[in-house]
Structure 1
Amino acid sequence: MEKFVVLPEIAKLGHVALVSENLEKSLWFFRDVLGLEETEEVDGVHYLRAWGDFEHHTLSVRAGETSYIDHIGWRTKRREDVATFAKILEDAGTEVRWIKAGEERGQGEAIRFELPSGHRFELYYDMEKTPADPERKSVLKNQTYKAWRKGVSPRRIDHINLQTSVNNLEVVNFLREKLGFKLREYFVNKNNEQVASWLSVTPLVHDVAIMTTDRSKKPNEMHHLAYWLDNAQDLLRAADILNEAEIEFVGPGKHGISQAMYVYVKDPGSGLRIEIFTNGYLIFEPDWEPIKWTYEEYLKYGSTYWGDRRRDDVDREAQIRELIQSR
């Protein structure tokens, strides 16, 4: 009888581990302005999550001399997938480091490795689903915390956008061939070279985006981390809250790629850009063909479908460059 091989799979984006050069400002922003809930603080690491996140944390923040992303965590679909991914990666020549259970609070055994761009990924399966304390607990059994308790109050983590100076296809092919990501949409430059890609392991348009640009000072930068709001009205409310906190932001607007509405804002402590994100579309087709955006199409509709428009006499190409850089 023919033996079937079960390929390992990534289930979803889990968390981002942030190091901040100004921890006090970062905690003020994430806890009070953005409205994330703090699960706990252990050995100087603050673990946070949105009111609809179930795992122990979707963001961790600790102090450092400079600000950077330590790693990005992804949960696998099965416990055994962690070891299977480790073998696939090692066979391909990628260095893999095993993380003992408990080394990261709430998390079981995991592996860490780097993409060709140098971004550090972590794969795990076991993670505590820590209940909220009684004062913050929702009356809904299918929800962790009370909604709208403070700040912008996003429901859940949504996606990451990684910025790099490395060839876009090199990173994209690694994600597809070694980790099972599916390419959903992509953008080419004037020379028809792929320079931005949106990929996912879920029905979302993207769990991760890869943007190649000569503006990258390092090959492993993060362009933004996104948290999800339920609807457009929540996004407008978020803009009011940010303005009341006297924090500058970009938006509201709507992307052509992903069709989602957005506001971009930077954590004043670390400089990490956060996208407050809603709407968009889901992909359920098993035979989905990646959508190509040409340079001209991207300038006209891809990045900004509407919102953030400048005067008609401003050169559109220069405007897009300005907007992307500000984001």
Structure 2
Amino acid sequence: MTNFIYAPEIAKLGHVALVSANIEKSLWFFKEILGLEETAVEDGTHYLRGWGDFEHHSLSIRSGDTSYIDHIGWKAKRRDDLEQFASLLEEKGTNVDWIESGVEKGQGRAIRFQLPSGHKFEIYYDMEKPKGEGKNKTLLKNQSHKAWAKGISARRIDHVNIATNAELEPVSNFITNTLGFKLREYLVDSDDKQLGAWMSVTNLVHDLAVMKDPNAPTTHQMHHLAFWLDNAQDMLRAADILSEHEVEFVGPGKHGISQAIYLYVIDPGSGLRIELFSNGYLIFEPDWEPIKWTLEDKIALTYWGENTSQANRSTIKG
């Protein structure tokens, strides 16, 4: 058994690596409609981020025969946490692959591994933090890009939601017990089995959620990727922009779980569902007790507004 001076920790969600079957449509959607900024293009991979994201990228997109999520990247709190996590994961029987510095543009050395569900995670520490240049340069020293340059202009990446057709508890337990996430809210069925788990390493209600989807084609699907908008007025503006470009969406509405305003839209290039997300609450209590919801709690997923069951399902593997 490895003895740690401290437990390795994940600091935040870093990025999602998307492979798109129609990269032209995906780039149009993410750059022109969602308003993400492109920081680099290398070996066919486009690196994007929101105007409030500081690291080199929060989304990468490359072309593929089919659409899927190559990996979800998480930033460690300390550089030494990479070795610590690698040892911890291997002790628990999880295979770990080391990714050398520079393989992913702007990123230092990293580890990759799979959850019990098959979802591929990456943990890194070092990442470049370039500033926007030229027309993208902002007057604000505490911001990476000029805001409202184009499209919806999402501020930053917010969270990821993954789906599985397998039992949920082994996945959520691995995430909390091995990776150090805290369970914030959860939904159970009539047999008290988890249908959804919302977990975080920050003060957010969730940096990561896991959903049970019996109709999912695999154990490792992507439910959605979320980007943050500052307020409900930004959400209404986003709805106008999507309508003007004849892009269908579901919402706006408000979740009971997380208390956030939502709007769901599908990337036309990859089929990935994107959630635009705002106004959720923050958790500062160190002794927070997870909130339990049941199927009888009709407001859990939709407090008001267009029902989330009407949102188109993401069709890509996670």
Give the structure 1 partner of residue 251 of structure 2: 251
Corresponding residue to 1:301 among 296, 299, 302: 299
- How far did 1:4 drift? 8.0
Q: Which whole-Å CA distance do the structure 2 matches of 1:123 and 1:42 have between them?
A: 21
State the TM-score, normalizing by the size of structure 2: 0.96
Cα displacement string for residues 172-206 of structure 1 (whole angstroms, at most 9, x for unaligned residues):
11001110000000001122211110000000000
The code of the aligned residue for 1:216 comes to A
Matching residue's letter, 1:303:
L
- C-alpha contact 2:223 2:313 (8 A) present in aligned 1: no
Runs of 4+ in structure 1 over 4 Å off: 324-327
The range that moved more, 232-241 or 130-139, is 130-139
Matched residue SS, 1:209: strand
Once the two structures are superposed, what CA deviation does each residue of 1:263-316 show, in whole Å capped at 9, x if it has no partner? 00000000000000000100010110000001110xx1101000015xxxxxxx
User: What TM-score results when the alignment is normalised by the length of structure 1?
Assistant: 0.93
**Residue type of the alignment partner of 1:94:** T
Moved more, 39-48 or 189-198: 189-198
Q: Which residue of 1 aligns with 2:310?
A: 323
* In 2, Cα distance between equivalents of 1:31 and 1:326: 22
CA displacement at 1:325 relative to structure 2? 5.6
For 1:308 and 1:126, locate their aligned partners in 2 and report how far apart those are by CA, in whole Å: 41
Query: Which of these two proteins has the greater Rg computed from alpha carbons?
Result: 1
Matches within 5 A, 1:171-320: 171-297=171-297, 300-308=298-306
Q: C-alpha deviations, 1:204-258, integer Å up to 9, x for none?
A: 0000000011111011111100000010000000000000110000000000000
More helix by share: 1
CA distance in 2 between counterparts of 1:191 and 1:92 reads 29
Which letter maps to 1:277?
F
- Matching residue of 1:149: 149
8 Å CA contact 2:21–2:63 kept in 1: the answer is: yes
Change (3 A) 1:194 1:182: same
**Structure 1 residue 78 corresponds to structure 2 residue 78:** yes
Change (3 A) 1:178 1:326: closer
What is the CA-CA distance between 1:323 and the residue it aligns to?
Answer: 2.5
Cα distance in 1, alignment partners of residues 56 and 261 from structure 2 = 28
Task: Provide the C-alpha distance between the structure 2 equivalents of 1:108 and 1:268, rounded to a whole number of angstroms.
Answer: 31
**Structure 2 unaligned spans of 5+:** none
Once the two structures are overlaid, the 10-residue window that deviates more, 196-205 or 211-220, is: 211-220
Counterpart amino acid of residue 310 in structure 2 = L
Residue number in structure 1 paired with 2:30: 30
C-alpha distance in 2 between matches for 1:134 and 1:143: 15
Which amino acid is 1:77 matched to? K
What fraction of aligned residue pairs are identical, expressed as a percent?
64
Q: 1:4 to 1:248 in 2, by over 3 A?
A: closer
Task: Report Cα offsets for 1:79-99 as digits up to 9, x if no partner.
Answer: 000110000000100000000
Runs of at least 5 residues in structure 1 that lack an aligned partner in the other structure:
310-319
